[in-house]
Amino acid sequence: MIKIHKEGWGFLIKLFAFLLSVNVSLFYLYSFSSFAIFFLFIISFLVFLFFFQFFRSPKIIKTVDEKLIVSPANGEVVHIGEVFEDEYYKEKKLLISIFMSPFDVHINRNPIGGEVKYYKYHKGKYLVAWHPKSSTKNERTTTVIANNKISVLVRQIAGLVARRIINYSVVGKTVNQSNQLGFIKFGSRADIFLPLDFKPEIRLKQKTTAGVTVLGKLH
């Protein structure tokens, strides 16, 4: 049985009520042919099915190991490289970017266990998630988690379609590796900033699963 994420129930109920009212209203107000009514029903069903699968929350076997860094998002690796992180660290870091299409699970997870040292929400634009400036111009959140081995920064970035980022981080709170960090509604991106000496074990265009896929090991 498909489990729906808690962030999706309100939206899905409203969508179902809207589609039902449209179908019933058009059925009674207009003299549609049986084919037209059937076609409208199929379109409505497909629209609802699309959003239904978007909010799915599948069971996963979490990766929990203090020597590993796990992916914060489901999607495709679109960037691995050195950048200057100017919000929190104020220094060069290794950036791994993961693009989440509307067909990916949009639950974000903690790449490590530790204490939340920093959290901030930024209002912004809605450029396409793979745009180079989306990480600094789009609506986004920044979360820094640290333990006695490493400090990492995770940035949730809204995309062209996304209009709401959910983040469960609380500064000072201890979080467990691979547990939920948040949720982004519709297409978006997640960035993770790591030390420059971190050796990634993933490659560009590789598919990742949040809380499962290992990005690399600590040495």
Active site residues: 188
What is the gyration radius of the CA atoms in the chain, in angstroms? Answer: 20
Residue found under tokens 């107000």? 29
Interaxial angle between packed helices 9-29 and 34-54, expressed in degrees from 0 to 180 and rounded to the nearest 10 = 170
Q: What's the N-to-C CA distance of the chain in angstroms?
A: 40
**Which contiguous run of DSSP H or E holds residue 23?**
helix 9-29
In the chain, what are the helix, strand and coil shares in percent, each to the nearest 5?
20, 35, 45
DSSP-derived secondary structure letter, 57:
-
The β-bridge partners of 135 are: none
Residue 121: what are its φ and ψ, rounded to 5°? -100, 135
CB-based contacts of 36-40 (< 8 A; 24+ apart in sequence): none
Distance CA 107, CA 116 (A): 18
CB 140 within 8 A of CB 87: no
Residue found under tokens 């029903």? 41
Distance CA 3, CA 9 (A): 11
